[in-house]
Structures are given as C-alpha cells and as structure tokens.
Amino acid sequence: MGNYTIAVLPGDGIGPEVVEQALRVLQVVADRYGHTITTQKALVGLAAIEAEGEAISDATMELCKRSDAILFGAVGGTQHTTGPRSKVSPESALFRLRKELELFANLRPIRTVEALLNTSTIKAEVLRGVDMVVVRELTGGIYFGQPSEIRETEHGTEAIDTLIYSEGEIERIVRMAFELARGRRKHVTSVDKANVLSSSRLWRRVADRVAQEYPDVKLEHLLVDACSMHLIRRPASFDVIVTENMFGDILTDEASMLAGSMGMLPSASLGTRKTAYGTFGFYEPIHGTAPDIAGQEKANPLAAILTLALLLRYSLGLTREAAAIEAAVEAVINAGYRTEDLREEGKAVIGTKEMGRQVVEALARQQG
C-alpha cells in the first residue's frame, strides 16, 4: 500500500476521451490493491493556449515536478486551429516538459496480441510472440547538435547538422536498457552505425564497457540498416533494443507497425529523478489527437490504458498492478471486442467508453 501523486494532462482532441478511460481503470486498481493515488488535472496544448495563453503554464510545470509521474493524452489540432498564423504551438508543451524534466529515455514496448495478428500487414507467423522494448535516447544526437544551419559559402549553399554524444549520455541510456533487460529476457541489442560514424564507435565502446557489469545479460550489436531489416524478418527475436535519437525515431515507427494499430501502443519517457518507488516519468500513448474522430466515441482507449500500466510499473513500482491491467486488456481483445480502428469481420465494434468499461469488468473478473 502506498501514497502516490500523478499529474494528469489530457490535452486536446481524443486525449481527454482516452485519458478518462485510463483514470477509470486507475480507480479500480487503486481500490482493489488498497493504494491512495492522488490525481491532479491540468490543461496542456491548445486547451491551455486558449485558457491560459501558453501551451503549458509555469503552474502546470510545477505540478508536474511535484508529482511521481505524468499521465498525458495528446496535444495538437487541425491545420485550421494550429495554422501558421497561431503564435504558440501546442507541441511546444512537449518540448518544455522533455527539457525541464530531463526526460532522456523514451521507451516503447511492443507486444503482439494473438487475436490481432491478422490485422497487421505482416504475416501472422512472423509476428507471433513479439515482445520487445525499444529504448531511444531522446535529448542528444543530431537533433540537438550545433551547428545546425543552411549557409552560403563561396562554393554555393551548404547545410550542416552535428551529431554529437558524450560518454555520459551514452552510458546512462545503455545502463537503463541493461536494467530493463534484467527484468525481462536478458538480451540487449545495441543499434549503431559503427562502420561509418565516430559517434557510433564511441557508443559501441561504452555499450561493451557497461555490459561487463551485467554478465547475466547478453549484448548484441547491430548496424541500424541490418536492424531495420531484422525488425520485419525476425521481430520475435528482440528483447530490449537501445539506440541513439535519430535511429530510434525511425526504428520506433517501423516497430510500431508490428502491433497493427496506433490505438494499442503506449510509451514512457523517463528522466534522471528517482521517485520513492521508481523513476520519475512522463507517459503517453504514441498516437496524436486524431481530430478526424474526436468527440465521436470512436477513439481506442487501450493505448492510454496500457500507458497507465507502464506508469504504475516504472514510476510507482507497482508491477503486479501493471500486469493485471495488461492481462485485462488482452482478455477484452480475446473476447472479441474491438474499437473502430481494429474493425474485424464477426467482432463487436464498441465505443471508447464501452471499451473502458470492458477493461474495468475484466479486472473485476480477475478478482474472481
């Protein structure tokens, strides 16, 4: 039994719709296991711009910093609401959160569910048993290195980006991957381009050094081009993949296709700060605000509900509770319930709230 505080930032579009269902599930889990979990809601994104004049206010940042974790929906609107004439972008909230909370590690777990194997564009036999976590470095590398500019020279226009990593930045993310692997199948795949890039050669050197402290975990090195191929050829062979920012950006999108729908995928961004029970983190489904279906009861809340499971596991240390939520989601899918994005012949298509209710009921059934 414990006392925990979660900052809840539902955001825009379908964000509030799916977060509401995750909070319903949280209430049931807290009651069942006897935890006191305090949630405090605040505005973010377009909703905050309209009410408070900025994408995330100082007061909301303070709330986040005081909490054990942040549960986030999504931010952003349509071209119409966030066109070139608007001064503040809703996404700037995300950049401020990442920077000020030092969220350096992005985790994307990808697990296939047997009953959904046929909804993917990839063959079921290849997808069966996929259960991996991609750990992407989030605050360094070529997206942040300076100089980064287009400039005029006497030979014409040229452009430069800078890919820079320090040993410390590499070490903390690789270490996180090894720690994760210890609680899983004890296999880390470190992805780089060490045949060409100096930053990758340092990456590999640091990964080898960190690996010596984890003799129980197997380390494999893969070049990024080979990894992109193996992700669709033998995805079930991966356990934990760790890689730098840009490679991770590309590989996580590729890996997400293994799960079929975006409406099923959670993510966590972890920082340097420890909580009393785990690591402080920011948790969001990977999908956006889906303006095309917002307000129509069509959004799949399962990504948000699975996101809550990650929050419980990594920031609150509640692994049993997290596993119970994941099992409940799987049970609902196996029972044939689908939201619009997972529509399948012969299966019952239900709305956002009803899907949330089904998960709550599946949790209650576990109680026996």
What HEC string does 197-245 produce? CHHHHHHHHHHHHHHCCCCCCEEEEEEHHHHHHHHHHCHHHCCEEEECH
Token pair 């070529």 is found at 142
Contact between 74 and ligand NAD per CB under 6 A: yes
Q: Does residue 249 carry a catalytic annotation?
A: yes
Among 10, 16, 77, 356, binds ligand NAD (CB under 6 A): 77
User: What single letter denotes the amino acid at residue 158?
Assistant: E
Shortest Å distance, C-beta 263 to ligand NAD = 3
Q: Catalytic pick from 193, 214, 239, 337? A: 193
From the CB of 265, what's the least distance to ligand NAD, in Å? 9
| CB contact at 8 A, 60 and 43 | yes
- Of 57 and 92, the one with the shorter C-beta distance to ligand NAD is 92
31 is catalytic: no
To the nearest whole angstrom, how small is the minimum distance from the Cβ of residue 112 to ligand NAD?
18
Residue with smaller CB distance to ligand NAD, 220 or 297: 297
- The span from the CA of 103 to the CA of 277, in Å, is 17
Q: How far is the CB of 239 from ligand NAD (least distance, A)?
A: 26
Is 143 annotated in the active site? yes
23, amino acid identity: L
10 binds ligand NAD per the rule CB under 6 A: no
Please report whether residue 263 would count as binding ligand NAD according to CB under 6 A.
yes
Q: Interacting stretch for ligand NAD, rule CB under 6 A, among 23-31, 135-143, 151-159, 298-306?
A: 298-306
The yes-or-no answer on residue 208 being catalytic is no
For residue 75, state whether it binds ligand NAD (rule: CB under 6 A).
yes
Phi/psi region, residue 240 (left: phi>0; alpha: psi -120 to 50; beta: rest), is: beta
Stretch that binds ligand NAD, among 30-38, 54-62, 193-201, 285-293 (CB under 6 A): 285-293
Q: Does 355 bind ligand NAD (CB under 6 A)?
A: no
Residues 92-151 interacting with ligand NAD (rule: CB under 6 A): 94
Helix (H, G, I), strand (E, B) or coil at 130: coil
210, 255 Cβ separation under 8 angstroms: no
From 99, 253, 274, 292, the catalytic residue: 253
Cα distances from 163 to residues 66, 145, 302, 309, in angstroms, run 34, 6, 36, 34
Number of residues that bind ligand NAD (CB under 6 A): 21
Question: How many residues in total does the chain contain?
Answer: 368
- Return the residue of 284, 321, 326, 330 that touches ligand NAD, per CB under 6 A: 284
Say whether 239 is catalytic: no
Q: What is the DSSP string of 246-274?
A: HHHHHHHHHHHGGGS-GGG-EEEEEEEEE
Cα–Cα dist 24/328, whole Å? 13
**Residues engaged in binding ligand NAD (CB under 6 A):** 14, 18, 74-77, 94, 262-263, 284, 287-293, 299-300, 303, 341
